[in-house]
């Protein structure tokens, strides 16, 4: 093996092999990985400093108490050694290959999402929607995805009228829903809550947003939208703008884009910069990244401009929020020098960061992006429930 770049350590648990990543040189890492693939089916690359906590977690089979990043890597190792597809908590739970397969599945499911074809792949399956925080798109698109595939949904309903208000712990709620359902989609205000739920559930958990942590199902629909517009994910220049500190969508998306070799421009007011640990993670994955406060100066070179809302609900101090509110406002006039193929995305809801004048331009993609939530979540539900999406899905009127 390429000893200089990395070394393989047999985690001595079945056939999982961990490659310790001590090089940011992507081609050396790829060479090492392919050499390791020849001796084992399950390979995972991890940064050097995480190796000890990961081996501890794996050998003791305990995730509780590990830092979230270690939990992410351990889930990846466990998924690769084929124990169980534990769910989707961060983008670390999916390999690049799995991401592309899921995007292909999503593409084939478009006629089903549009209602042109009925394909009851998930008949008899029940999704538990556990939303402890407001959600419109994520909850509704999960529900639409499940129902269009012939499955059913049970909802926790309004947290204020559920047993949570009586003091039920998250653990108890999960135990109950675990017994009622085949898969859980969960949103929670606390960072790390989705991982905790996964650790206490037997069914797969899909993280629909954990506080300022991660939002991987959003990332899958974002990647789908980018690939739909540009034909590929590789080598694009992507500007992520707005609240990079508390915005969980950009935490998950920046990681995924880096793994596909995109160049990132992180545009934010200094108070809302991308957290240090996420920047470190991006660098460890070989990121090409620039930080700036100048959004408008970054637009003309961009292939994608991803705007975000300032996450008012995450500020401990209202005055801090007032200082940055309205920091970026994109108007159609700002797009005159943009590439014709550049797309503007937003996870929604928007406040004032994209002026309605942008909606009618060729660049606006945010409403299609929201629609794509249905296909991306359909493909994820099938994957996690172990159901294959057929290679030929009728285009409509045939099923």
Chain residues in the site for ligand ASP (CB under 6 A): 134-138, 209, 215, 248-249, 309, 347-349
Structure tokens at 28: 């050396």
The residue among 125 and 137 lying less far from ligand ASP, judged by its C-beta, is: 137
User: Active site includes 138?
Assistant: yes
Cβ within 8 Å of residue 289, ≥6 positions away = 258, 263, 264, 265, 266, 279, 282, 283
User: Active site includes 331?
Assistant: no
Q: Minimum Å distance from CB 372 to ligand ASP?
A: 12
The residue among 228 and 252 lying less far from ligand ASP, judged by its C-beta, is: 252
Please state, in angstroms and rounded to a whole number, the distance separating the CA atoms of residues 78 and 94. 11
Q: Does the N-terminal peptide bond of residue 115 adopt cis geometry, omega within 30 degrees of 0? A: no
The residue among 235 and 349 lying less far from ligand ASP, judged by its C-beta, is: 349
The residue among 129 and 138 lying less far from ligand ASP, judged by its C-beta, is: 138
Candidate list 29, 69, 215, 237, residue with the active-site label = 215
| Bridge partners, 322 (sequence order) | none
DSSP track, 240-262: EES-TTT-HHHHHHHHHHHHTT-
Please state, in angstroms and rounded to a whole number, the distance separating the CA atoms of residues 342 and 244. 21
Q: Minimum Å distance from CB 365 to ligand ASP?
A: 15
The residue among 198 and 218 lying less far from ligand ASP, judged by its C-beta, is: 218
Candidate list 29, 81, 137, 188, residue with the active-site label = 137
Candidate list 60, 160, 166, 202, residue with the active-site label = 166
User: Active site includes 365?
Assistant: no
Candidate list 76, 90, 117, 138, residue with the active-site label = 138
The residue among 222 and 263 lying less far from ligand ASP, judged by its C-beta, is: 222
CA distances, 242 to each of 97, 253, 399 (Å): 30, 14, 44
Q: Minimum Å distance from CB 159 to ligand ASP?
A: 14
User: Active site includes 323?
Assistant: no
Q: Is 351 helix (H, G, I), strand (E, B) or coil?
A: coil
Helices (H), the chain: 26-37, 51-60, 68-80, 96-108, 110-113, 137-148, 170-180, 193-200, 216-230, 248-259, 276-284, 318-324, 366-384
The residue among 76 and 249 lying less far from ligand ASP, judged by its C-beta, is: 249
Q: Minimum Å distance from CB 50 to ligand ASP?
A: 26
Candidate list 29, 42, 81, 187, residue with the active-site label = 187
| Closest to 92 (Cα-Cα) out of 80, 106, 81, 83 | 80
Structure tokens at 159: 């947290």
Q: Minimum Å distance from CB 287 to ligand ASP?
A: 22
| Closest to 154 (Cα-Cα) out of 203, 88, 216 | 203
Q: Minimum Å distance from CB 52 to ligand ASP?
A: 33
User: Active site includes 248?
Assistant: no
Q: Is 300 helix (H, G, I), strand (E, B) or coil?
A: coil
Q: In what order do the strands lie in the sheet with 152-155?
A: 87-88, 205-210, 183-188, 126-131, 152-155
Structure tokens at 190: 């606390």
Cβ within 8 Å of residue 327, ≥6 positions away = 242, 268, 269, 272, 310
Q: Minimum Å distance from CB 136 to ligand ASP?
A: 3
Structure tokens at 345: 């995305």
Q: Is 393 helix (H, G, I), strand (E, B) or coil?
A: coil
Which residues are catalytically annotated? 137-138, 166, 187, 215
């Amino acid at each position: 093996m390429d000893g200089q770049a990395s070394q393989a350590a047999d985690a001595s648990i079945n056939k999982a092999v961990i490659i310790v990543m001590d090089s940011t040189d992507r081609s050396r890492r790829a060479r090492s990985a392919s050499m390791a693939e020849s001796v084992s089916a399950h390979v995972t690359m991890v940064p050097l400093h995480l190796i000890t906590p990961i081996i501890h977690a794996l050998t003791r089979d305990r995730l509780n108490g590990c830092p979230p990043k270690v939990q992410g890597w351990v889930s990846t190792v466990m998924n690769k050694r084929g124990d169980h597809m534990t769910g989707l908590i961060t983008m670390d739970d999916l390999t690049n290959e799995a991401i592309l397969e899921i995007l292909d599945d999503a593409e084939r499911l478009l006629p089903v999402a549009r209602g042109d074809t009925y394909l009851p792949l998930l008949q008899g399956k029940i999704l538990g929607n556990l939303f402890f925080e407001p959600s419109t798109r994520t909850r509704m698109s999960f529900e639409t995805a499940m129902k269009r595939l012939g499955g059913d949904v049970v909802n926790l309903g309004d947290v204020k009228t559920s047993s949570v208000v009586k003091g039920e712990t998250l653990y108890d709620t999960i135990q109950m829903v675990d017994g009622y359902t085949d898969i859980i989609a969960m949103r929670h205000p606390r960072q790390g809550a989705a991982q905790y739920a996964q650790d206490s559930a037997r069914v797969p958990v899909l993280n629909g947003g954990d506080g300022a942590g991660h939002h991987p199902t959003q990332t899958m629909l974002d990647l789908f939208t980018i690939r739909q517009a540009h034909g590929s994910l590789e080598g694009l220049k992507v500007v992520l703008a707005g609240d990079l500190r508390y915005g969980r969508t950009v935490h998950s998306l920046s990681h995924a884009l880096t793994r596909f070799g995109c160049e990132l421009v992180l545009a934010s007011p200094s108070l809302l910069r991308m957290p240090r640990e996420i920047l470190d993670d991006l660098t460890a994955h070989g990121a090409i990244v620039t930080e700036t406060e100048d959004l408008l100066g970054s637009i003309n070179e961009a292939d994608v401009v991803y705007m975000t809302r300032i996450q008012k609900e995450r500020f401990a101090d209202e005055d801090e929020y007032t200082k940055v509110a309205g920091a970026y406002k994109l108007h159609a006039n700002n797009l005159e020098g943009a590439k014709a193929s550049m797309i503007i995305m937003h996870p929604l809801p928007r406040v004032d960061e994209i002026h309605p004048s942008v909606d009618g331009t060729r660049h606006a993609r945010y409403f299609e992006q929201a629609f794509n939530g249905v296909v991306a979540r359909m493909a994820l539900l099938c994957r996690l429930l172990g159901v294959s999406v057929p290679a030929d899905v009728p285009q409509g009127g045939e099923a």
